[in-house]
Structure 1
Amino acid sequence: MGFEKEASSSSHVLAPLPREDTPLLSKSRPLSSQSKTFANVFIAIVGSGVLGLPYTFKKTGWLMGLLTLFTVAFLTYHCMMLLVYTRRKLESHLGFTKITSFGDLGFTVCGPIGRLSVDVMIILSQAGFCVSYLIFIANTLAYIFNYSTTNLDPRIWGFTPKSVYIWGCFPFQLGLNSVPTLTHLAPLSIFADIVDIGAMGVVMVEDIMIFLKEMPVLQAFGGFSMFFYGLGVAVYAFEGIGMVLPLESETKEKEKFGKVLGLSMTFISLMYGGFGALGYFAFGEQTKDIITTNFGQGVVSILVQMGLCVNLFFTVPLMMNPVYEVVERRFCHSRYCLWLRWAMVLGVSLVALLVPNFADFVSLVGSSVCIILGFVLPALFHLMVFKEEISWRGMVLDGTIVVLGVVFGVSGTWSSLMEIFAPKGVY
């Protein structure tokens, strides 16, 4: 099952109406240069998960943390390119119509079941990330501007600071999420990248100064039981698998996309590794779950948190793009729909407003959906499409990724569910 192969142009007088197998992008769009593609890849992957890396290194040990991080980065890049190779094979060699998203690829390989599975997981993961971004932004702004040791329940015009900041972001997010193409978001992506790199650079410099002064006791390996913890955090940190095919579709020089993606992943990996290791080196066993809280409410902490808020604010529309592609295809015949996008922004904002503690839900999504999307499905689709020409080594590699992904996904999902349903407040 899959997309129908293209017929000759003379056999059609009128353009057919969009169907389930209609590609998402029917009109030509402006294409991105290599620098714009690099910026969009960077901002699509880098998110709030980076703040937890120093704490993760404390639990896993700095050497195990680095090894785990770089291994996940390599496998993530490998699986991203598997999606690209699979799409190129289906389009160029087998003659299928244009495949522009993960969902299109799922339909081409596995039919409606494949598309539905990918669509549901993309909506859950991408929208879930955006909800966590809005919660982080609102809570961070409330901590910076409304924190008080005497008033434990501050109010702004009778409302909680979190609700005020979420609704304050709402009209601006409506405007940003109205942009129809990723290429037009590239300038904002570049600006957000600069702010993010600057904020993280300040933290790393501060970490080095504190390390040279304090020289805390460090451990290289934290025990095998901590490996799975570090693995889960690393997988969550390298989010963005749903953006690969849309980004490659809008790249001007597609033959260089793999190189650009590889450079982006290498840069992000080194940045992640440096940020996580230096944070742990600076504070040792005193490293907190969010590294900025180790700096208290000083100037450095405020600048870093504001920088991350700016980065995540401009990341929301980029991360919502795959969600829009899914809902517009299913409800608007793949046509751009402003009111539907605004409805999705409203829905994400309401969830961010109503969910008091999103950590358990993010853990569940990261342990289940992210592993399936990031590793299992790319390797499975690649294996199904290339099964007649792939070498036995390639077949073993794809099969190993699928099996390990399922095992880690099931165990991670079970652990997350046990945490969610575990009795709270019982000592």
Structure 2
Amino acid sequence: MFGFESLPKNGADYITLLLLYHHHHIIRKQKMQETPQIDDKYIQNFEPLLLIKDDDPIPEKDAIIIPLDKRTSRTYGRNSIGELFPRKKKLPTTFLETLIHLVKGNLGGGAFAMGDAFKNAGLLLGPVLTVVLGVICIYSNHILVNCAEYIRAKKKLPADPTFPETVELCFENGPLAFRRWTPLVRLSAKVFIVITQLGFCCVYFVFVSSTAQTILEKYNIEYDVRVYMAIMFFPVLLSCFIRTLKFLTPISLLSNVCLISGIVFTLYLSTDELPPVSSRRLFSTWDTLPLFFGTVIYSFEGISLVIPLKNEMKEQKNFSRPLGVLNIGMLVIMAILLTMGTLGYLKYGDSVLGSLSLNLPKENPFSMVVQIVVGIGIVFSYALQFYVAADLLWEELQGACGPFKHPVFMELLLRACMVLLTFVLAAVVPNIGLFISLVGAVSSTALALLYPALCDIALRTCPEAEGRLKTKDELFRYIMDGITLLVALFGFTFGAYCSVSSIVKEFFH
């Protein structure tokens, strides 16, 4: 030990301890056999100290100490006593690279399902509700970023906390009614993120393998859909071994090119001989609206990527400004969804399928090209959706079982097991899409709408003496938070009800 029988009580003792810490660091650099150890009791209720155990990383400036049970985030380096200090971004992303990732995180199979979504809402009500839900989702993304930045400033953190940490710290710094729910929301946020992201990955396995089966059956090549899943497994696994967003950029770019090309070809083929607008329903029935809601939220649900993308940016100020990455990316997504939904439903009406590419005329050679291109785009979408869940689970594994002697190998092993899990679920569980829609109605709605609004309310209603969040547009923010919570409640109840009803009909009728 350093020789203190209790915590330092004055500046002289504090300086002495820092000098001893500096001396300990020099001794360690000289590769001495024995190095002093610091017991955890010396840091209890004494946050200003910088205490390091042997073999722990040396902190950068402005380090802070948090309790042992509050250690979180891969965003920071951490030592064994719970100290947070900035983790340098190995390869920060540019404005364009971040924009590519954001578009890719929201652009996937949901875009091709928008025709089916508009069938469940109507040709007039569908676009209106898509814009409304899009604006709410953009608002939720912004308040999540604002809450993370506010927590960072209030706690003097060196970088924005992650999504689960933001939710946890907002509840922890809110009024008493929020604080008692902190452990539950911390766990539920992590669970929802993993379920949602891996659920998307399962859907990708089913989507691509089914598309491949449909294409090859035209040439009398008939195999079980699980064979195509097995073939897809290996390229997906290799792409998931990329552990840095910087190196995922080429894959995201290729995926964007394929999907946007598929969208352009699909729209081109869908504009041929359009029927009159009067032949389509402008408003659908109330009982199908929850299905529309689920598809649109699924298409917009990339909120768990927002903070990781911002933290990886070289110039983070360019992320949430008016003409920043977030607004530009989400407006591009909204325009694509509106176009796909409107033209898809107008062209094919009630016969529109879950993927618009499957409605294309079979006699047209471009149809098969579109299906192949879209399938390739979805395959390369897997790695980015997988990134958030893998990053979160790896951090939890390190906290529970680490440190590891070979951390890179262990992380790759974890990623391989996660890819294998999604493959097995997609191949073994029948009608997995019904269960994914149920989970998505709950988890996607919670991530995209419920948590951001609750975080904003928590920070705005905490006691004045504890640093309540204040802005000039406070009334507007309360109104928007209330609307967001109502929409989330609708998605929870009716979305889950419709999904459960579909499951019951599928298995018991």
Q: TM-score, normalised by structure 2?
A: 0.75
Q: Which of 264, 268, 282 is residue 220 of structure 1 equivalent to?
A: 282
SS in structure 2 opposite 1:300? helix
2:118, 2:457 → 1: CA distance? 34
Report the counterpart of residue 386 of structure 1 in structure 2: 460
Is the counterpart of residue 374 in structure 1 residue 439 in structure 2? no
Could you report, residue by residue, the CA deviation over 1:156-211 in whole angstroms, capped at 9, with x for unpaired residues?
xxxx2x22222212222222111111121011111111111111101111111231
1:264, 1:5 → 2: CA distance? 44
Larger deviation, residues 94-103 vs 304-313: 94-103
Larger deviation, residues 169-178 vs 133-142: 169-178
Alignment of structure 1 residues 2-41 onto 2, 5 Å: 12=52, 15=56, 20-25=70-75, 26=77, 27-29=87-89, 30-41=91-102
Q: Are the aligned partners of 1:103 and 1:326 in contact in 2 as well (CA < 8 Å)?
A: no
1:415, 1:56 → 2: CA distance? 14
**How has the CA–CA distance of structure 1 residues 304 and 21 changed in structure 2, closer, same or farther, with 3 Å as cutoff?**
same
Alignment of structure 1 residues 170-185 onto 2, 5 Å: 170-185=233-248
**How has the CA–CA distance of structure 1 residues 295 and 408 changed in structure 2, closer, same or farther, with 3 Å as cutoff?**
closer
Q: Which of 372, 384, 391 is residue 306 of structure 1 equivalent to?
A: 372
Alignment of structure 1 residues 252-271 onto 2, 5 Å: 252-258=314-320, 259-271=324-336
* 1:346 counterpart letter in structure 2: L
Q: Are the aligned partners of 1:380 and 1:399 in contact in 2 as well (CA < 8 Å)?
A: no
2:141, 2:45 → 1: CA distance? 25
1:172, 1:353 → 2: CA distance? 17
Q: CA deviation at 1:8?
A: 5.6
Q: Are the aligned partners of 1:178 and 1:338 in contact in 2 as well (CA < 8 Å)?
A: yes
Report the counterpart of residue 131 of structure 2 in structure 1: 70
Report the counterpart of residue 485 of structure 2 in structure 1: 402
List runs of 5+ in structure 2 lacking aligned partners.
1-43, 59-67, 78-86, 172-181, 462-467
Q: Are the aligned partners of 1:178 and 1:341 in contact in 2 as well (CA < 8 Å)?
A: yes
1:129, 1:356 → 2: CA distance? 16
Q: Which has the larger radius of gyration?
A: 2
Q: Are the aligned partners of 1:100 and 1:246 in contact in 2 as well (CA < 8 Å)?
A: no
Q: Which of 413, 419, 425 is residue 496 of structure 2 equivalent to?
A: 413
1:6, 1:316 → 2: CA distance? 45
**How has the CA–CA distance of structure 1 residues 415 and 165 changed in structure 2, closer, same or farther, with 3 Å as cutoff?**
same
Quote the sequence identity (%): 22
Q: Which of 109, 113, 117 is residue 170 of structure 2 equivalent to?
A: 109
**How has the CA–CA distance of structure 1 residues 329 and 112 changed in structure 2, closer, same or farther, with 3 Å as cutoff?**
farther
Q: How much is the aligned-residue C-alpha RMSD, in angstroms? A: 2.7
Alignment of structure 1 residues 86-165 onto 2, 5 Å: 86-96=147-157, 98-110=159-171, 111-147=182-218, 154-155=222-223, 160=224, 162-165=225-228
Q: CA deviation at 1:52?
A: 1.8
Report the counterpart of residue 339 of structure 1 in structure 2: 413
Report the counterpart of residue 35 of structure 2 in structure 1: none
Q: Which of 113, 131, 146 is residue 52 of structure 1 equivalent to?
A: 113
Relative contact order, higher structure (CA 8 A, sep 6+) = 1
SS in structure 1 opposite 2:124? helix
Q: Which has a greater percent of helix?
A: 1
Is the counterpart of residue 191 in structure 1 residue 254 in structure 2? yes
| Count of equivalent residues | 414
Q: Are the aligned partners of 2:108 and 2:259 in contact in 1 as well (CA < 8 Å)?
A: no
Report the counterpart of residue 291 of structure 1 in structure 2: 356
Q: Are the aligned partners of 2:270 and 2:360 in contact in 1 as well (CA < 8 Å)?
A: no
Q: CA deviation at 1:223?
A: 4.1
Q: CA deviation at 1:85?
A: 0.6
**How has the CA–CA distance of structure 1 residues 371 and 193 changed in structure 2, closer, same or farther, with 3 Å as cutoff?**
same
Q: Are the aligned partners of 1:216 and 1:282 in contact in 2 as well (CA < 8 Å)?
A: no
Larger deviation, residues 399-408 vs 308-317: 399-408
Q: Are the aligned partners of 2:117 and 2:296 in contact in 1 as well (CA < 8 Å)?
A: no
**How has the CA–CA distance of structure 1 residues 220 and 94 changed in structure 2, closer, same or farther, with 3 Å as cutoff?**
same
1:356, 1:223 → 2: CA distance? 29
Q: CA deviation at 1:239?
A: 2.0
Is the counterpart of residue 352 in structure 1 residue 426 in structure 2? yes
Q: TM-score, normalised by structure 1?
A: 0.89
